[in-house]
Amino acid sequence: MVYAALLTVQEEHAAGPLTVEGGLMIWTVFIFLVLLFILKKFAWPAVLGAVEAREKALEQQLADAERSRAEAAKLLEEHRRLLAEAKGQAHAIVVEARQLAEKERAVLLEKAKQEHEELLARARREIAAERDRAVAELRREAVDLSLAAASKLIQKRLDSETDRKLVLEYLATLDAGR
């Protein structure tokens, strides 16, 4: 019965969620303060240390990223400079190759011209030599014909070397007279 009386009293007092109970409130505040003290004493420094460490790590990462960005910009500029330098060198090589080709062309043309002149000179010399041989042959033929004609005229064969010299001297005087 006492138990049943206590239950009815409890049921009467537990009428709603807004009912204030003094003992429960004191214990709730006490447990909150003890928990706050424990957290402030042990957990708060660890949480603050972790936050500060995280902040420092983020600052370090930002500084590293800035350094990396600056280094990348520097490398990009160096790359652009090297590329421009390489283009300039390639252009210079092309210009030099063109100039060298023009010089080589001029040398080859000059060499061909010299060979042409030498060939013409040799051909002229050969022609002159052939002409001289033909003239000499013609003279011999003329001497032989003259001797043959003279021997028929005088009915005697002129064959001696003296007679040949005589005719050659006569032909030479004819050439000098021209």
Residue 24 has pLDDT above 60, yes or no: yes
First to last CA, the chain: 181
Can you state the angle between helices 161-177 and 44-154, rounded to 10 degrees?
A: 120
All residues at 6 or more sequence positions from 139 whose CB lies less than 8 Å from its CB, including other chains? 168, 171
All residues at 6 or more sequence positions from 159 whose CB lies less than 8 Å from its CB, including other chains? 147
49-88 confidence digits (pLDDT tens): 999 999 999 999 999 999 999 999 999 999 999 999 999 9
120-155 confidence digits (pLDDT tens): 899 988 898 888 888 778 777 777 777 666 665 565
Evaluate whether 159 touches 127 at the Cβ level (below 8 Å).
no
